[in-house]
């Protein structure tokens, strides 16, 4: 593993120096934590208590305020994971690897939540919690890809997990276009196919909850990076003491 305190201080990576990261992240932690909590409470309150039930699905319809944002964020998290993995492969800067690991942790959590909320939403409509539908199966595959990536992060070299992440990116367009390529039970895109018909009372709570999940990912990322930097600093100090 490349040490964070022995890497060359190249100018293009000056914003990723440990001291600067610790200073800037400390200022953002409280703001991110407060904003995340506020948006979660606000979005769920709007979605579950201030919107009417659907004429066909009843109260079960309100699961959309959880399921759709989870679906959005699990794919975005994997895209960010791939970007950070690619940056690590071309730079070998350890911070980029830690970023990819953090997005893998939160991404796997969001994907699992997407599968659970989707099952709870689909049961009243389909009469079962699970069907081997193209969209559901591809999202389940994404969860397995996240899990394998995390396993590789802790058991092999950094470059192996990063390369695997880039290969797994082929699943993202499959998830996106699965409802168009195959005949599925899953409905089409909730927003892009309903741009002119979706009411703002439905869109706003979903969007706010998605922003809350994005802020939560950023909060976890900062905590993860701070922990990594502090642990690396402790190891570096111990190594210096052993030299003397």
Is residue 117, in this structure, part of any structural domain at all? yes
Structural domains counted in the chain: 1
Is residue 34, in this structure, part of any structural domain at all? yes
58 has which bridge partners?
Answer: 54
DSSP class of residue 58 equals: B
Q: What is the pLDDT of residues 172-229, one digit of tens each?
A: 999 988 777 655 655 555 555 444 467 787 889 999 999 999 999 999 999 999 988 8
Q: What's residue 21's pLDDT?
A: 77
Is residue 56, in this structure, part of any structural domain at all? no
Is residue 201, in this structure, part of any structural domain at all? yes
CA-CA distance, 199 to 9, in Å (whole number)? 51
Q: What's residue 184's pLDDT?
A: 60
Integer CA distances (angstroms), 112 to 13, 36, 136, in order: 34, 20, 11
Asked if 147 contacts 111 with a C-beta cutoff of 8 angstroms, the reply is no
Is residue 88, in this structure, part of any structural domain at all? yes
Q: What's residue 159's pLDDT?
A: 93
The residue ranges of the chain whose pLDDT is under 50 are 1-2, 5-11, 193-196
The distance of Cα 181 from the centroid of its chain, to the nearest Å, equals 25
Q: What's residue 22's pLDDT?
A: 79
CA-CA distance, 100 to 119, in Å (whole number)? 28
Which residues constitute the domain of residue 204?
30-51+61-237
Return the exposure string of 11-49: e unless at least 16 CB atoms fall within 10 Å of the residue's CB, then b.
eeeeebbbeebeeebeeeeeebeebbeebbeebbebbee
Is residue 16, in this structure, part of any structural domain at all? no
Q: Residue 138: name the closest of 185, 172, 110, 101 by CA.
A: 172
Q: What's residue 57's pLDDT?
A: 65
Can you give the pTM of this predicted structure?
A: 0.84
DSSP class of residue 1 equals: -
Is residue 20, in this structure, part of any structural domain at all? no
What's the length of the chain? 244
Is residue 3, in this structure, part of any structural domain at all? no
Q: What's residue 131's pLDDT?
A: 82
Q: What's residue 234's pLDDT?
A: 80
Q: Residue 3: name the closest of 231, 158, 232 by CA.
A: 232
Tokens, residue 143? 């969860």
């Amino acid at each position: 593993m490349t040490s964070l305190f022995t890497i060359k201080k190249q100018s293009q990576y000056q914003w990723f120096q440990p001291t600067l990261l610790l200073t800037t992240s400390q200022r953002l932690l409280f703001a991110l934590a407060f904003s995340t909590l506020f948006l979660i409470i606000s979005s769920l309150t709007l979605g579950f208590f201030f919107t009417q039930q659907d004429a066909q699905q009843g109260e079960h319809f309100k699961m959309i305020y959880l399921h759709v944002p989870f679906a959005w964020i699990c794919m975005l998290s994997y895209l960010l994971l791939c970007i950070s993995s690619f940056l690590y492969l071309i730079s070998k800067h350890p911070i980029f690897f830690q970023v990819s690991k953090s997005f893998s942790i939160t991404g796997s959590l969001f994907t699992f939540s997407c599968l659970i909320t989707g099952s709870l939403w689909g049961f009243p409509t389909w009469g079962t919690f699970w069907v081997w539908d193209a969209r559901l199966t591809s999202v389940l595959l994404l969860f397995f890809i996240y899990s394998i990536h995390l396993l590789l992060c802790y058991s092999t070299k950094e470059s192996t997990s990063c390369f695997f992440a880039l290969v797994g990116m082929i699943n993202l367009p499959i998830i996106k276009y699965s409802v168009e390529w195959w005949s599925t039970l899953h409905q089409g895109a909730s927003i892009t196919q309903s741009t002119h018909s979706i009411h703002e009372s439905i869109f706003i709570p979903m969007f706010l909850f998605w922003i809350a999940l994005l802020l939560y990912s950023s909060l976890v990322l900062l905590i993860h990076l701070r922990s990594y930097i502090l642990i690396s600093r402790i190891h570096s100090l111990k190594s210096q003491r052993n030299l003397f």
